[in-house]
């Protein structure tokens, strides 16, 4: 796998997938999300309601 990280990253997300619910009631909130946030940088997470912004931040927070 390609290594997207380096020591200047504050947070790295690699192929993150988050599914709520189970079986016939599943919602795929995040599907293969890979990104990074550099130290000392400012990032705005934007998108329509339900696009997964809060889920992304919850996963990034560990
Ligand atoms: N606890 C949960 N159980 C089931 N589905 C959930 C849960 N939390 C979020 N979801 C679903 O996951 C998807 C992403 O939701 P999320 O709350 O991350 O979106 P959002 O971009 O933060 O939306 P908003 O702008 O309304 O805050 C939506 O389809 C939502 O219905
Ligand atoms: Mg939200």
Ligand nearest to the CA of 55: 1
18 Cα nearest atom in ligand 1? 12
Question: For residue 25, is it within any domain?
Answer: yes
Query: Atom 27, ligand 1: which residue's CA is nearest?
Result: 49
pLDDT given at position 53: 98
Question: For residue 17, is it within any domain?
Answer: yes
Question: For residue 18, is it within any domain?
Answer: yes
Question: For residue 39, is it within any domain?
Answer: yes
Question: For residue 4, is it within any domain?
Answer: no
Q: Do residues 55 and 18 make contact, with C-beta atoms less than 8 angstroms apart?
A: yes
How many structural domains comprise the chain? 1
Range of the domain at 31: 9-60
Between CA 36 and CA 39 the distance in angstroms is 10
Question: For residue 51, is it within any domain?
Answer: yes
**pLDDT of 7 over the 80 cut:** no
Residues with CB under 5 A from ligand 2 (ion): 53-54
Query: pLDDT, tens digit, for every residue of 27-45?
Result: 999 999 999 999 999 999 9
């Amino acid at each position: 796998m390609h290594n997207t990280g380096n020591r200047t990253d504050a947070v790295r997300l690699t192929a993150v997938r988050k599914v709520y619910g189970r079986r016939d009631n599943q919602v795929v909130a995040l599907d293969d999300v890979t990104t990074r946030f550099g130290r000392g940088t400012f990032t705005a997470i934007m998108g329509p309601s339900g696009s997964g912004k809060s889920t992304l931040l919850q996963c990034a927070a560990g």
